[in-house]
Chain A
Amino acid sequence: MSTEQHVAPAEAQEPELFENPGTEEHRERLGDVDPRYAKANERLIALILAVSALASIGSIVAYVALPLEDLWSVRNSTLFLGLGLGIGMLGIGVAAIHWAKTLMSNVEYVEERHPQRSDDEPRAVAADMMKHGVEDSGIGRRPLLKGAALGAVALAPLPYVVPLVANLGGDWNVGAFRHTLWGETPEEYSGRLPDGSLGRRLARDPEDTPIRATDVTNGSVFHVIPHGLNEHEHFYEEKAKAVVLMVRLDPDLLHEPEEKADWSYNGIVAYSKICTHVGCPVALYEQQTHHLLCPCHQSTFDMTDQAKVVFGPAKRPLPQLPIAVDDEGYLVARADFDEPIGPSYWERLQ
């Protein structure tokens, strides 16, 4: 380096690297020098331990004395049981640490490290042992056994793993994702349409009371389930597919393709409430912008335009539920959704 020019030739050559100066001098603590400080620390530690003991006992007293009758008693019980446990534990901990820091010997020691690598001799012996073991096993001379053993060992866990995994899915009826309760029209939960067919009535969530078209005023949002859902055997599974959000808009604002003109009724539209992103309920309806916002990842759907996505990580619009009014004025579903609701999956379009 260029610094050589600055070094006077007569000077002794400096070593290449600095040398480690070696551990520092041990410094006495006050308590080591003057036993009064040590004694004071000892008393402090004893005091902290006493506080801890009292706290622990206090916790038991609180347990016995404080009943759980109302909100405030639950609050107090939690507080005092926890304070007692906490201070009881903390106290011993603080005392132990303080003891270690002030009273225990603080002389630093130096211990040698040995390399992780074993010395050559044990390595040679180990290698030798392995070699002898392999030779003794005879596998080297019997390649047929090697292949056979591997094959059998690979297959052996299957009788355990296959039943475990295969049974997890029950009947594996993944096709069930495609159908919701809206496609089922039992008499007691359905209404008659002008063409004579039955349609599942729309009902309020969670009361399960059918909804009249006249109930739905401009600016309203109704959370909808198929009527009769509350009596269904698989309530949660069916609800998880069938929940619907229904709003009434000014019909002039609605953009509908020709073929879906009869899917709405006088500005009342109904869409699946399960987000097409990953399945949260899309429920934040903004009355003025007519946008439907999902609270989980902020996918935003435009209710005036076939619930298409206007922001966020969802790609597909919400499936629309075709609705009409039956002969008693109740809103009914004409048919099930025309595609699987909710998040996409590989064979969705099949």
Chain B
Amino acid sequence: MTVSSSTPTARPSGEYRPSKAMGSTADLLDTRVGVAKAVKFIGRKIFPEHWSFLLGEIALWSFVVLILTGIFLTMFFDPSMAHTTYPEDAMPATHQGMEMSVAYESTVLMSWEVKGGLLMRQMHHWAALLFVAAIVVHMFRIFFTGAFRKPREINWLVGFTLLILSLLAGFSGYSLPDDVLSGNGLRIADGVAKSIPIIGSYVSYGLFGGEFPGEHIIPRLFTVHILLIPAAIVALVTVHLILMVVHKHTQYPGVGRTDNNVVGYPAFPVYAAKMAGFFLIVFGFIALMGATMSINNVWNYGPYDPSPVSAGAQPDWYMLFLEGALRLMPGWEVVIAGYTLSLNILIPGVIVPGLLFTFLAVYPFLEAAATKDQREHHVLDRPRNVPVRTALGVAYLGAFGVTVLAGANDLIATHFELSINDITWFFRIAFFVLPVVLFIATKRICLGLQRRDRELALHGHETGRVVQLPDGAFMEVHKPLTDEERWLLVAHEAQRPIEVGPATDRRGVDRPGYRADRIRHRISRFFYEDRVEPVTPAELAAAAHHGHGPETDGHPEEPHEIHGGSMEVTRPEAAADEQVEQPPSGGSIATLARGEKG
């Protein structure tokens, strides 16, 4: 049985007449709202299969769990900062008779006196950590496979916004119990707010409705956390999914998969079952985590009071990058005309994250500027085939990782018996050095993998069997690739740096747009100058001819590499490291010199 090449719609059989209960329900709906059209659109829609397409679903289902467990919590949580005294006869013993806010008391009572309350609280918190983690993993899958390219740039921005919203949801959520740990986090937020130039003290006063801590912040965060942010997330997730359905899902390169089709399984029943199943698996997994792993035991910290603080004072993991940035920054503060500018807070808290997040948001457009390719892309990239993008992503993760680890520097110090001061200095330097190192290393690794792919495509698999030819020479037998295997190695297109038009037109008048063209040329060169192009049929035929066929090819050919904007190709006989100098910049026209030694 071969793959069906037509869309699996209902078998053509004339007008559909409903007969049983389900049929009459369908008829009821269709005659009132025309559901048949919707069913036709989505019912047997094809979605491609790969495990990495499920990462966004982890986030989606975690969000559903957050809503469901959150509803439970709202039934027992009281977001009031009014003062109260903990009952003398309630658990835990360490809290009996203690002064605290109503919000904190309701949290602790919910955990100790409501059956399933602690379970729900723990599930909610684990789900929150998982939600953000899944968004990050999903986002980087999108990044490394180039799924943000046209037509999905808008969806990338929607997803980016969802990331920011998830951070805000988490921050507002874990601050609600009003305990010492999250309360100190709010104090830090207040300090950061105060550092904003000109309006800082007003932002602080406005947020807290007075001096810190005031009586308004918890109820305000409650509204943000259960109404404003979830509404925004639900709206954006809906847009996100609609766009995914309208664009159809991307697919990995493979035989039969092109930019003009999608190969996979139909929505109903396969993906309906898989999505429902994965939802239940995520739910169940979170429930098991909530049942067996303690998280956020606020009674260990006690109700918020401005005086105590615990060692190991960190926010939840997804805020650690800010925490680490604050820890790494040296104490720079300037006074301008009697006014204080706290660079030691603004740089790590506002400027650096602002730059990094902006880079992430605009990346699709940055990369699009590097190529003249305006087509839609639905086949994903293998990360090795886009070395600069992959290297940028790894470098970015390196910088992010340094700040996250820096946020945990005191735990690293105690666990590895190091000096916290040394760790801080190490990370200060690593923040700048590590991304550069990672960029260079990753790019080289990708190019190396591509060269290996070329080898494989040209010569087939090494079998390790060595045969002796009649003339006495020894050759290793290579097993030729199947069509499927070869396709995977050669399916991608070669990306070349875009050319720059002349600086002036024929009459010597400066050409408008030349400046922009030059910038685009530079960006393009940054991305595509160093590259390894995929094997072409001509090269494969030549390899077969040159080496008496792929089976008996003894010595590897020099890989065909291109360095520089002009098309100088290193020939097999040439020295391995011969490289061509880039023609002096200044708007020279780079020509494709096929068949020429440039």
Contacts and interface: CB of A to CB of B under 8 A. Distances in A.
Contacts of A176: 211
Give me the 10 closest cross-chain CB pairs, A-B, nearest first: A82-B291, A23-B256, A278-B191, A90-B284, A93-B280, A96-B277, A86-B287, A89-B284, A93-B281, A343-B191
Interface in B559-576: 560, 569, 571-572
A169 B205 contact: yes
Contacts of B46: 109-111
B335 A239 contact: no
Nearest to A79: B291
A68 B305 contact: no
Contacts of B1: 26, 28, 107
A211 B451 CA distance: 76
Contact of A21 (B4, B6, B313, B484): B484
A60 to B, nearest CB: 11
Given A87-B284, A89-B283, A93-B284, A296 B210 contact: no
B195 A345 contact: yes
B83 to A, nearest CB: 8
Contacts of A165: 206
Given A77-B115, A78-B119, A346 B200 contact: yes
B171 to A, nearest CB: 15
Contacts of B515: none
Interface string A84-122: 011111111111110110001111111111011000000
Interface stretch (B471-479, B519-527, B537-545): B537-545
A196 interface: no
Interface stretch (A138-146, A310-318, A326-334): A310-318
A34 to B, nearest CB: 16
A170 B207 CA distance: 10
A21 B350 CA distance: 52
Nearest to B407: A297
B4 A314 contact: no
A319 interface: no
Contacts of A28: 1
A14 B313 contact: no
22 contacts: A68-B115, A77-B119, A81-B291, A89-B281, A105-B270, A107-B3, A108-B263, A110-B7, A111-B262, A113-B262, A169-B209, A173-B205, A234-B211, A236-B306, A240-B211, A279-B188, A279-B190, A314-B331, A343-B195, A344-B195, A345-B195, A346-B196
B288 A20 contact: no
Given A17-B537, A109-B263, A298-B420, A25 B115 contact: no
Interface in B1-19: 1-8
Given A71-B91, A110-B3, A277 B344 contact: yes
Given A20-B258, A63-B116, A169 B213 contact: no
Interface string B88-120: 000110000000000000000001111110110
A323 B170 CA distance: 43
Interface string B454-465: 000000000000
Interface in A226-242: 234-237, 239-241
Interface stretch (A5-13, A128-136, A253-261): A5-13
Interface string B412-442: 0000000011001000000000000000000
Contacts of A312: 327, 331, 424
Contacts of B201: 174, 177, 345-347
Residue among B216, B265, B278, B340 with max Cβ neighbours from chain A (10 Å)? B340
B308 A96 contact: no
B291 A78 contact: yes
Contact of A82 (B287, B307, B344): B287
B403 interface: no
Which of the four size classes fits the interface of chain A? 35 or more
B184 A280 contact: yes
Interface string A265-298: 0000000011001111101100000000001111
A113 B248 contact: yes
Contacts of A348: 340
B420 A6 contact: no
Interface stretch (B32-40, B159-167, B359-367, B485-493): B485-493
A13 B595 CA distance: 14
Contacts of B327: 297-298, 312-313
Interface in B186-239: 187-188, 190-192, 194-202, 204-207, 209-214, 216
A205 interface: yes
A154 interface: no
B252 interface: no
A162 interface: no
A315 B344 contact: yes
A194 interface: no
Residue among A14, A109, A243, A298 with max Cβ neighbours from chain B (10 Å)? A109
Nearest to B337: A349
Interface in B298-313: 304-313
B394 interface: no
A303 interface: no
A210 interface: no
B332 interface: yes
Residue among B118, B329, B344 with max Cβ neighbours from chain A (10 Å)? B344
Given A20-B257, A79-B291, 20 more contacts: A2-B572, A17-B490, A23-B256, A78-B119, A96-B274, A96-B280, A106-B270, A109-B3, A109-B6, A109-B7, A110-B4, A113-B378, A174-B202, A176-B211, A206-B307, A234-B211, A239-B305, A295-B309, A295-B313, A350-B339
Given A21-B255, A23-B3, A298-B420, A89 B119 contact: no
A165 B200 CA distance: 15
B197 A18 contact: no
Nearest to A171: B210
B536 A116 contact: no
Contact of B210 (A68, A237, A273): A237
A322 interface: no
A216 interface: no
B306 A168 contact: no
Nearest to A97: B277
B409 A85 contact: no
Given A18-B491, A109-B8, A110-B263, A345 B340 contact: yes
A309 B538 CA distance: 69
A304 to B, nearest CB: 19
Contacts of B258: 20
A252 interface: no
A225 B339 contact: no
B280 A349 contact: no
B330 interface: yes
A313 B329 contact: yes
B537 A169 contact: no
B306 A74 contact: no
Given A104-B269, A109-B4, A113-B248, A225 B376 contact: no
A15 interface: yes
B508 interface: no
Contacts of B213: 236-237, 240
B536 A85 contact: no
A215 interface: no
Contacts of B8: 109
Given A70-B91, A82-B288, A343-B345, A94 B264 contact: no
A174 B594 CA distance: 72
Nearest to B595: A4
A137 interface: no
A111 B340 contact: no
A11 B541 contact: yes
A237 B212 contact: yes
A100 B277 contact: yes
